Amino acid sequence: MYKNTKVTIAVKDFNIEQTLECGQCFRFKKIGHMEYLVVAHNKLLRIKQMENKIQLYCELEEYHAVWAHYFDLLKDYCSIKEQLVRKDDYLAEAIAYKPGIRILHQDPWETLISFIISQNKQIPHIKQLIEVLSNTYGDLIECYQGQPYYSFPTPTQMEVACEEDFRQLKLGYRAGYICDAIQKVGMGEVNLELINQMTYEEALRCLMTIKGVGRKVADCILLFAYGRFEVFPIDVWIQRIIQAYYFENKASLKEIITFCSHYFGQYAGLAQQYLFYYARDKKIGKL
């Protein structure tokens, strides 16, 4: 029996569909028009949006303790967007296309494993693999309409598994990477609590000691879990759109990194999400 308590919150510059479907998170399920189930921070949330208000099926206390921060609803995105729109017409168009994106505050450990899994995979498949991983090693949170939902497993919960176990879940060569992450985080060799106090370069160096974590995955963790808005993850889509828009299709990855870190400024990460969503939907640069 799912809880009946409902909380209604007024929102602006927020769209639940755009925020969940823009590629930053994987544990959500569409159950209706502008209505979703979300699993995060060991909780299952049913959320529905009607224009400028959202309904959350939880206690008000839980909204303030978990979801307001998770959806980044305490921040003023209006003024941030105004600054970004002024950069150039491309960015302005991307923002106008999906103006309701917000950068989530996801759990660092879950984000680390999720983006290790994400490499060379499409989003539906990433979602499926994370689902199986959670169903196998996580805790049962609750059932919704007969369907069980599981929390994302902790390092301790995943420690019982060996590389072969992960391979059997179809994680392929990522199995070894996940084992290394469990080892390093479990042993405290990489302390995810301390990342917040580090400079960007320090955090990058620390995260990249884990096998299977390169620049792009580390950047995603810093942006999607730690809210580092200045970080600009560069994947194949962003690379294509930056090449097409700002370099006439001729620039090396290094040139692009240098350009982005200077050009987009303190809200680069949010700009990246607008551009990513736009490029992916419009298939910019795709053959």
Binding mask 254-273 for DNA (x = CB under 7 A): x-----------------xx
CB of 67 to DNA, least distance (A): 20
Rounded distance between C-alpha atoms, residue 285 and residue 237, angstroms:
8
Kindly report the number of other CB atoms within 10 A of residue 166's CB atom: 24
Is residue 95 part of the contact set for DNA (CB under 7 A)? no
Mark the segment that binds DNA (CB under 7 A) among 5-13, 42-50, 122-130, 243-251: 122-130
Is residue 17 part of the contact set for DNA (CB under 7 A)? no
Is residue 23 part of the contact set for DNA (CB under 7 A)? yes
Is residue 173 part of the contact set for DNA (CB under 7 A)? yes
Helix (H) or strand (E) holding 126: helix 123-137
Is residue 19 part of the contact set for DNA (CB under 7 A)? no
Determine if residue 248 is left, alpha or beta; phi over 0 gives left, psi from -120 to 50 gives alpha, anything else beta.
left
Q: How many residues bind DNA (CB under 7 A)?
A: 41
CB of 287 to DNA, least distance (A): 7
Question: Using CB under 7 A, which of 178, 179, 213, 241 touches DNA?
Answer: 213
Is residue 172 part of the contact set for DNA (CB under 7 A)? yes
The token duo for 238 is 């962003």
Is residue 83 part of the contact set for DNA (CB under 7 A)? no
Number of DSSP helices (H) and strands (E) in the chain, helices first = 15, 7
The token duo for 202 is 């320090």
Question: Using CB under 7 A, which of 114, 118, 151, 243 touches DNA?
Answer: 118
Is residue 278 part of the contact set for DNA (CB under 7 A)? no
Is residue 235 part of the contact set for DNA (CB under 7 A)? yes
Helix (H, G, I), strand (E, B) or coil at 150: strand
15 vs 56, beta carbon nearer DNA: 15
DSSP 151: P
Rounded distance between C-alpha atoms, residue 4 and residue 59, angstroms:
9
Is residue 24 part of the contact set for DNA (CB under 7 A)? yes
Is residue 276 part of the contact set for DNA (CB under 7 A)? yes
55 vs 183, beta carbon nearer DNA: 183
Question: Using CB under 7 A, which of 208, 244, 251, 284 touches DNA?
Answer: 208
CB of 59 to DNA, least distance (A): 30
Is residue 251 part of the contact set for DNA (CB under 7 A)? no
Q: Tell the residue number behind the tokens 């989003």, with chain if given.
A: 123
Q: Is the dihedral of CA 259, 264, 266, 272 positive or negative?
A: negative
Is residue 200 part of the contact set for DNA (CB under 7 A)? no
Is residue 282 part of the contact set for DNA (CB under 7 A)? no
The token duo for 56 is 């959350």
Is residue 212 part of the contact set for DNA (CB under 7 A)? yes
Residues near DNA (CB under 7 A): 22-24, 118-125, 167, 170-173, 208, 211-218, 220, 233-238, 252-254, 272-273, 276, 280, 286-287
